[in-house]
Amino acid sequence: MFPKLFDLGPFSVYSYGLLLALAYLAGLQMAVWRAKARGIDGTKVMDLGVGIIIAALVGAKLMLLVVDFDYFSANPAELLSLARSGGVFYGGLILASLVAIWQVRRLHLPVWATGDIIAPGIALGHVVGRLGCFLGGCCYGRETHLPWAVTFTSPLALANVGTPLNVPLHPTQLYEAGAAAIILAGLLVFERRGRAFPGRTFWVYILAYAISRFIIEFFRGDPRGVVLSLPTSQFIALVLVPVSLVMLVYLGRREPAPQEPGRKARRHA
């Protein structure tokens, strides 16, 4: 595909890096817009989003270091490749979630309502980010001869992320981008239906993504580490499915917080 878009003097603009930046900006802007629409301070959500972005970048690369520890320990010079690698999405999601909990409490934001606000933004960012993976050649699939197979030919993709060249592969990047787009649309429709409660949109996102990622992992061809004979991301997905279901049941059974009389009066006024 197109790992490098163009050169600006001594600097090169890579497709993955550009789309990753756009992914974070799109997700953050959507979260701020959703916060304002719900009467939550958009500036606080912007501050929260910046912290989440930094944590996601660091967490994704740390998870990659963990799952490929044997490789990096045997080839320490390759540690520099972490700078140009996207890392493991789940690593970014886990660390970003932990940082978000701390930030939410520090900024005095409602925990689960804030999670509901940012979840569709994460899905949107994921769509854009996986398109960057496709252009860059990373997160590639297994060999296949299906009609929609893709064949990478750029030597730069091979050099940067080890993409097999001249071999028809499953376009797993597009599978995941498509799944994330369906999840995004589903979240926006689903949150308007049924009995809403704080945390529902967030945990439905985690559940839907875990299921889709578990399935897509069967078609991945890149090295991703193994936990209990499963690829790392597939193992994490397997853990998150029951956790998500438990949280949805638990939060759905909680009694809603009593409304303050003053707030109710102001609303009617």
Torsion angle defined by CA atoms of residues 214, 219, 220 and 225, in that order, rounded to the nearest 10 degrees:
50
Confidence of residue 7 (pLDDT cuts 50, 70, 90): confident
Q: Residue 260: what pLDDT?
A: 43
Q: Rounded to 5 degrees, what are φ and ψ at 240?
A: -70, -25
- Domain-located, residue 262: no
Tell me, what amino acid is at 167?
V
Confidence of residue 84 (pLDDT cuts 50, 70, 90): low
Q: What is the pTM of this model?
A: 0.83
Among the ranges 11-20, 81-90, 100-109, which has the highest mean pLDDT value?
100-109
Confidence of residue 266 (pLDDT cuts 50, 70, 90): very low
Confidence of residue 91 (pLDDT cuts 50, 70, 90): confident
- Domain-located, residue 233: yes
Domain that holds residue 27: 4-254
Q: Is the pLDDT of residue 191 over 80?
A: yes
- Domain-located, residue 150: yes
Q: Residue 71: what pLDDT?
A: 66
- Domain-located, residue 84: yes
How crowded is the C-beta side of 127, counted as CA atoms within 13 Å?
16
| Residue 28, C-beta contacts closer than 8 angstroms, at least 6 positions apart | 46, 49, 50, 53, 121
Among the ranges 75-84, 139-148, 187-196, which has the highest mean pLDDT value?
139-148
> Are the C-beta atoms of 152 and 162 separated by less than 8 Å?
no
- Domain-located, residue 145: yes
pLDDT, mean over the chain: 85
- Domain-located, residue 265: no
- Domain-located, residue 32: yes
- Domain-located, residue 260: no
Count of the separate structural domains present in the chain: 1
| The two three-digit tokens of residue 152, written as one number | 């990478």
Of 36 and 264, more confident: 36
Q: What percent of the chain has pLDDT over 90?
A: 48
Q: Residue 20: what pLDDT?
A: 86
